[in-house]
Amino acid sequence: MDKRELERVQTYLRKQFQNPSFRVVARPRKDDSAEVYLGDEFMGVLFRDDEDGDLSYNFSMAILETDLE
């Protein structure tokens, strides 16, 4: 994902969740995904899917049982 894509997705997340603390950061040695943070807390991984010419982004977030307590 290039810098422009990261910025576009970051802007989308900030707008959708009405929270300017979202950050989308490039991953080292990976060009098809990025890391998503809320402030300093890691939230999950964003994957770029360009299969069959239809571009989309998939966000994957794990929720640990200990996080629910």
40 pLDDT exceeds 90? yes
Confidence of residue 63 (pLDDT cuts 50, 70, 90): very high
d(CA 58, CA 67): 22
53 pLDDT exceeds 90? no
Put simply, whether the predicted model's pTM sits higher than 0.85 gets the answer: yes
48 pLDDT exceeds 90? yes
d(CA 18, CA 8): 15
Residue with tokens 């360009």: 50
**Per-residue CA distances from 62 to 5, 45, 53, 56 (Å):** 23, 9, 28, 20
